[in-house]
Amino acid sequence: MEKHFTDSRVKGVSTGTTILAAVFDGGVVIGSDSRASIGGDYVSSKAINKLIQVHDRIFSCIAGSLADAQAVTKAAKFQLSFHSIQMENPPLVIAAASVLKELCYNNKDELQAGFITAGWDKKKGPQVYVVSLGGMLIRQPVMIAGSGSTYIYGYVDAKYKVNMTREECLQFATNALALAMGRDNVSGGVVNLVVITEAGVEHIVIPGDKLPRFSDE
């Protein structure tokens, strides 16, 4: 059983967080909360952006130490744009994920960051890859990560279906993030969503008061 890593043990600013990515029919939705905290006691930022655009149709979201994640994504963005110029083609999503994986695996002793990479490319369509803490890379139709993700494993297992429509997938992602934010004290703020399809990229922000409410006890 993979050891569960709680972000509150990360020193410095951590994105104790909830991130999620899910494939639907024709595209992929990637989403996150927006809270950055220090040690689980202080919210250092209420509305940070955890969805980093590494290329035109490829986004990455970060969990773990914010400093590490920013450094890694900066390096990855550079490598990817260089690669894209060399190939004279937009990079494949797996290329982006592999770049992140190499950085995470080769520096595994120093880094404390995990990534979910999601995007669309011409070869395989919409895809979601996860690079976990030690540098493992796997592909899955839906992926959740971050400290808040523990609380929504059951919900995601029960609710996610392959080949949902765009609206169903957006509702699923919003609900899942809202539920996680309701239970995890280091996740919160607004819900940031990005929808990536062949046609392009769409950003959606859902502020706290517009989040779905579930019957509270």
* Residues near another protein, by CB under 8 A: 1, 140-142, 150-158, 160-162, 175-176, 179-180, 182-183, 214-217
Q: Which is nearer to another protein, 1 or 88 (CB)?
A: 1
Q: Which is nearer to another protein, 9 or 74 (CB)?
A: 9
In angstroms, what is the C-alpha Rg of the chain? 16
Q: Which is nearer to another protein, 61 or 156 (CB)?
A: 156
In the 8-state DSSP scheme, what is residue 84?
Answer: H
Minimum CB distance to another protein, residue 77 (Å):
29
Minimum CB distance to another protein, residue 97 (Å):
18
Helix 93-106 × helix 66-87 angle, to 10°: 130
The answer to whether residue 15 is catalytic is no
The CA distance from 170 to 155, in Å, is 15
Catalytic residue among 6, 15, 17, 174: 17
Q: Which is nearer to another protein, 123 or 213 (CB)?
A: 213
Q: Cα–Cα distances in Å, from 178 out to 38, 112, 117?
A: 21, 25, 21
Minimum CB distance to another protein, residue 60 (Å):
21
Minimum CB distance to another protein, residue 161 (Å):
6
Cβ atoms within 10 A of the Cβ of 75, count? 15
Q: Cα–Cα distances in Å, from 84 out to 60, 70, 81, 108, 117?
A: 17, 21, 5, 26, 17
**Catalytically active residues, by annotation:** 17
